Amino acid sequence: MRISTGDGPVGTIYIIIDKSQYELIVYDDKGWYATYPVVFGNNSLSDKKMEGDKNTPEGTFRIVSKRSHKQWDRFMALDYPTKESWEKFNKRKEKGEIPASARIGGGIGIHGTWLHEDFVVDRYKNWTLGCISMKRNDVEELYNYTPVGTKVVIRK
């Protein structure tokens, strides 16, 4: 269920995604604007280490593009991997935490659920390959007032 202050956001917005709370929180120039329930990739809620681990990356990102999507309703792409993402990735390789042949991955974004599957969000069922998934009505609402360039912070 979405909780909101009512009218549309005022001024510049930014988004905080709290993985441990399964929430996407929107702030505007007045402060808190809305909270939406979300789900992620892996149940561990760990930071993304490499392509294929199904983890949702942590850090500061920007929405770089928006489009309608035939499977997930709407898709707002993030600029993952960022410089910060690459630094963490390379350090993990140096420490041997991930294979030398590992790739960083990409294609991370905020999107809806499969048609008629909003229940996965209600049940906290993590199912993506590392993206953030919202109920379809929620992602449409967020999509409509969120411009390209919006700052998105993902934290655990």
Domains of the chain plus CATH, in order, are: 39-148 (2.40.440)
Q: Is the pLDDT of residue 74 over 90?
A: yes
Torsion over CA: 125, 42, 155, 28 (sign) = negative
How many CB atoms sit inside 10 A of residue 34's CB? Answer: 22
pLDDT of residue 141: 95
What is the pTM (predicted TM-score) of this model?
A: 0.94
pLDDT of residue 2: 55
% of the chain residues with pLDDT over 70: 96
Question: Which whole number is the average pLDDT over 32-49?
Answer: 96
| Residue-wise pLDDT tens digits, 108-141 | 999 999 999 999 999 999 999 999 999 999 999 9
Q: How many CA atoms lie within 13 A of 133 on its CB side?
A: 28
Q: Is the pLDDT of residue 5 over 90?
A: no
Q: Which residue has the tokens 């600029």?
A: 79
Q: Is the pLDDT of residue 1 over 90?
A: no
Question: Which whole number is the average pLDDT over 138-147?
Answer: 97
